[in-house]
Amino acid sequence: MKALRAPQPKKKHWLFGNIYYLRSNTIENLTAFCDECGPILSLSSPINKVAVVCHPDYIKQIVQDNSSNYRKSLAYDILSRLLGNGLLTSLGDEWKQNRKLIQPAFHKKKLDEFIQVIVDSTLTSFENWNLNQSKKNFDVAPFFNELALDIISKCMFGSQMEQDAKRISEIIMQLNKLAIERLNKPITTLLFGNNKDLVLVQELDTYIYKIMQERRATGIKKDDLLQMLLDAKDEESGEGMSDKQIRDEIMTIFVAGHETTACALTWATYALGKNKHVVEKLKQEINSFEGPFTFDKVFSLTYFKMCVDETLRMYPPAWSMGRRNYESENFGKYQVEANTNILIPIYYMHHHKDYWENPEVFNPERFHPSVRNQINRFVYLPFGAGARMCIGNHFAMMEMIVVLFLFVQKYNFDISANFEATLDPLITLHAKNGVQIDIQAN
C-alpha cells in the first residue's frame, strides 16, 4: 500500500500556511494541532517542509532506532550562529570526537568538586539579594537567572568572569529573542536580513577568547571546566582542541547550563508556591538530611529529586527538539519526505493524557522510585533521548536539587496574590512575566 502524507490541521493562513499560527500562542496552537491530527502531522509552510511527531514509538524511531537518518533541524542551524559547532549543534564524527573529549568533565568525581561552588554561590546570592528582609511581589526569575549564571561561570572559569557576568547574561537573553524572531519570521529575515545576533556573538567572543588568553598567559592551571577543555587530548592522535572548538564548547555548556537551569528553578518555585503540602514534605526531608553535600547524598534526597523531575515534566525548559531527515521515512502508514524539519513537542508529550494521569496537576509521586521505571523514556524527555541526550543532565539535576534544598530550608514563600505565570516558549521555556512570590526568612 502506498504511504500517505501525514494529515494537516484545518487552521491555515492563506499565504503562510499552518506554521503561521505557531508564531504566537505557540504551545496552545501546537497542542490543538496535535490533538486534532494525532501522532504525526504535517504543517504547511511557504519555505520549509515541516512535520510534528508526537508518539513515543515514532520519537524512538527518530532519536534511537534510525538516528543515522537524522541531523539537527533548521532551528539548530540558527542556534549554531551563537554556539558554533558545539555538542548541541555538531554532527557525525565531529560530534562523537568532541563528546569523547568532554565527557570526563561530567564524571561523578568532577561533579563532586562543583558542589561547594553551588552551595557558596547560592548562599552569597541570598545575601546579595537581601532575601533576609521580607519581600512582597519578588520576581524570582532574575534572581535564579543571576544565580545560575554565577554557578556556571565559576564552574567553567573559576572567578575570572564575575565582572562581566551581568553583560553576558543580557547578551544571551537578547540572542534568545533574536533566534525566535528568525524562526518565526524566516521570509522577513531572508528579504531584509538582520545581523544583530552576529554583532552580539562577536561581543561574547571577546569575553571568551580574552579569558582563554589570560589563562594561557599565566601558566597557572585551575580546577575548572575551561582547564579541562584546554588540557583535553585525543587518546589516539594526542591532538588537543583548537581555540575555535574550545570556544564552541564553552558557549554550548555556558548557554545550556545557564538558561535551562534558571528556567527550571523559576518554574519549580512557582509549582512549590502553589502546592504547600509538597513543601512540607520537602522540609521533612531537609530535617532528616545529614550533611555535608556530596554527589551521592544529593541524589539520595529522593523527594527533592521527585519534585525536580515533576517540574521538568510540567515546565520542560527544552520544550521541543527538532530533527531533519536525510531520506524519506515511513511512520506507520504515513511517509515523511526527505529534508523535512521534524518537531518533537516535548511539552505536549509531558502533558499528554494518554501517558499521564491528571497531567495538569503537580504530583511528584509520579516519579517515586517504586514507579519511576514505568515511565516511557520517549514520553518523558527533559534532557532529550538517544545517543544525543544532554551530557550535563547530572550536573543540572545536582544543581537544581542543591539550590532548591537551600531555598526551601531558608525561606517561607507563597505565590503573590492574583499572580498567574504565563508560558513564554523562546528557545527555552520562560515565564513571560517572571514568577512573583511573597518571601520571608525562616
Domains and CATH numbers, the chain: 4-441 (1.10.630.10)
pLDDT (0 to 100) of residue 187: 54
Render pLDDT for 108-121 as a digit per residue (tens, 0 to 9).
Answer: 888 999 999 999 99
pLDDT tops 70 at residue 186? no
> Of 282-286, 290-294, 379-383, 419-423, which range is least confident?
290-294
Give yes or no for residue 178 having a pLDDT over 70: yes
Mean model confidence pLDDT for the chain: 89
Q: Average pLDDT for residues 125-148, to the nearest whole number?
A: 94
Alpha helices of 327-392 — where are they, by DSSP H?
346-350
Expressed in angstroms, the distance from the first to the final Cα of the chain is 67
pLDDT, residue 320, reads 94
Read off the C-alpha cell for 349.
508529550
Asked if pLDDT for residue 130 goes beyond 80, the answer is: yes
Distance from C-alpha of 121 to C-alpha of 109, rounded to nearest angstrom:
20
**pLDDT for res 190:** 53
- Contact criterion met (CB below 8 Å) for 118 and 399: yes
pLDDT digits (tens, 9 = 90+) for 224-269: 888 888 888 877 777 888 888 888 888 888 777 788 999 999 999 9
* Beta carbons of 126 and 418 less than 8 angstroms apart: no
166 vs 212, more confident: 212
Identify the bridge partners of residue 52 per DSSP, sorted by sequence position.
Answer: 41, 343
Residue 411, strand partner residues: 441
To the nearest whole percent, how much of the chain has pLDDT over 70? 95
Say what the pTM is: 0.93
Predicted pLDDT of residue 211: 84
Cα separation values, 352 from 190, 252, 396, Å = 36, 30, 25
pLDDT at 193 over 60: no
| Number of residues that this document lists for the chain | 442
Residue 160 has pLDDT above 80, yes or no: no
Sign of the C-alpha dihedral, residues 316, 398, 83, 125?
A: positive
Mind listing the pLDDT tens digit for each residue in 392-401?
A: 899 999 999 9
Cβ–Cβ under 8 Å, residues 259 and 317: yes
> Minimum mean pLDDT among 47-51, 357-361, 388-392: which range?
388-392
Of 186-195, 220-229, 341-350, 386-395, which gets the smallest average pLDDT?
A: 186-195
pLDDT of 3 higher than 80 = no
